[in-house]
Amino acid sequence: MATTKLKIEPPLLNSACPWATTLEDIKALYDSPFTGAVTIRTSLLEGFSHDDSIHQYTFFTPGKTIPSDAPKGEESKPPSSTSNPSEPVSTLNTLGYSPLTLSEYLGIINEIVGQRHLGTDTPTKKPFILSVTGTADEIAMAYALVANAAEMDEDLRLAMEVNLSCPNIASAPPPAYDKKELDEYLEAISDSKSTYRGRMTTPDSTPKVGLKLPPYTYSGQFEMVVDSLRKAKSSEPGEGSVIDFITCTNTLGHSLLLNASLEPVLNSESGSGLGGLAGAALHPLALGNVATFRKLLDKDPMTKGIMIIGVGGVEDKDGAERMRKVGAGAVACASALGRYGVSVFEKITKGN
């Protein structure tokens, strides 16, 4: 069975998040010598109608009262507005997806790699992980766009992460909680990879595909996912699952913050203020998800080669080492990136 799935060296990167939205965001992440890959904020084929009045985020310290006039969105960005920047940071968000389309992100990647061709950028070829979402048919179309881009430029190292885990879209629960829906996505991914595999010059140039998963809380959920991954066999002889990596875990939905006036801190599509919890408060659950998936994946040759990108509450070297200890092949962060900026990757690497 093939063991090379996705190469991320150094094994540190960002996860799909608001701080990986713009050209400037993505280039800063790409230029950092402490990142081994760059994940781009989750996009749709046609873009997402972002509305600052209902798509929001805030930083907070668990267990502490939030002022009634607490800032949110870009205004809440620490550390300058944080009284004690050494405290672990958590985030709550009611965000949707990126306002930029997948095609626009492919253009941004071409611009960044083009600068490297001109000798104005690092010569290192880092993978770009394009996080995408939509229906199963739209995911197949997204893979076609990514594969075509990879075919046209052999210097592009592209992968696609299918986000099946956003908790903030009204009337659209995360598909990764439903086996039937999950299997439909896996079938679409399998068909897409089979179509384009023969057109690539080398196996490594075929865009790898992963799943961004939500948090799971009981054994049957983990077993359901692994069973689907095991049955989604690659068409390539000698390979296992059609999925190359999983990213776990995304934010924990139906979380709520109340301010000093006992009102929701954030607005949301539903008007409830419920959103996705991330950062330090999620770290123990994320560690448990990574550990459980690694143990189950390793039990079967079909799934043993699937890499895990561990994400959830990592903001220092110790946190990254915990993730690696329980089975993450690479470690990603989002809340800490929003808090510290791209320098967080040097902080994690050097233990500063």
Q: What share of the chain is helix, strand, coil (3-state, %, to 5)?
A: 35, 20, 45
Element (H, E) at 129: strand 128-132
Query: Who has greater pLDDT, 80 or 183?
Result: 183
pLDDT band of residue 85 (cuts 50, 70, 90) is low
Cα Rg, the chain, nearest whole Å: 19
Segment 193-214 shows an average pLDDT of 82
Per-residue pLDDT at 53 exceeds 80: yes
Q: What is the pLDDT of residues 106-154, one digit of tens each?
A: 999 999 987 655 555 555 689 999 999 999 999 999 999 999 999 888 7
**Domain regions of the chain by residue span:** 12-350
What local confidence, expressed as pLDDT, does residue 63 receive? 86
DSSP code string of 316-339: SHHHHHHHHHTT-SEEEESHHHHH
Q: What is the pLDDT of residues 215-257, one digit of tens each?
A: 999 999 999 999 999 999 887 766 789 999 999 999 999 999 9
What CATH number is given for 12-350 in this structure?
A: 3.20.20.70
Per-residue pLDDT at 88 exceeds 70: no
Find out whether the peptide bond into 79 is cis, omega within 30 degrees of 0: yes
Average the pLDDT over each of 80-84, 199-203, 236-240, 328-332 and give the range with the smallest value: 80-84
Percent of the chain scoring above 70 in pLDDT: 90
Element (H, E) at 25: helix 23-31
Q: What is the pLDDT of residues 258-299, one digit of tens each?
A: 999 999 999 998 889 999 999 999 999 999 999 999 999 999
- The helix/strand/coil state of 211 is strand
The pair phi, psi for residue 254, each rounded to 5°, is 55, 35
Query: Which tokens belong to 297?
Result: 């994946």
Answer yes or no: are the C-beta atoms of 16 and 40 closer than 8 Å: yes
What local confidence, expressed as pLDDT, does residue 240 receive? 87
Interatomic CA distance for residues 217 and 214, integer angstroms? 10
Answer yes or no: are the C-beta atoms of 90 and 277 closer than 8 Å: yes
Strands 275-279, 252-255: pairing is: antiparallel
Angle (CA) 326 332 333, round 5°: 115
Strands 208-212, 245-248: pairing is: parallel
Nearest Cα residue to 73 out of 258, 280, 267, 332: 267
**Can you give the pTM of this predicted structure?**
0.93
Answer yes or no: are the C-beta atoms of 80 and 259 closer than 8 Å: no
What local confidence, expressed as pLDDT, does residue 346 receive? 97
- The helix/strand/coil state of 161 is strand
Nearest Cα residue to 332 out of 82, 159, 123: 159
Q: Output b/e per residue, 79-89; b: 16+ Cβ within 10 A.
A: eeeeeeeeebb
Per-residue pLDDT at 80 exceeds 60: no
Handedness of CA 47, 52, 53, 56 (dihedral sign): positive
Segment 11-34 shows an average pLDDT of 97
Q: What is the dihedral of CA 339, 343, 347, 349, to 10 degrees?
A: 130
Bridge partner residues of 209 (DSSP): 160
Mean predicted lDDT score pLDDT of the chain = 90
Q: What is the pLDDT of residues 288-326, one digit of tens each?
A: 999 999 999 999 999 999 999 999 999 999 999 999 999
Average the pLDDT over each of 14-18, 123-127, 149-153, 328-332 and give the range with the smallest value: 123-127
Strand order in the sheet with 12-14: 12-14, 330-333, 307-311, 245-248, 208-212, 158-163, 128-132, 38-43
Interatomic CA distance for residues 337 and 17, integer angstroms? 9
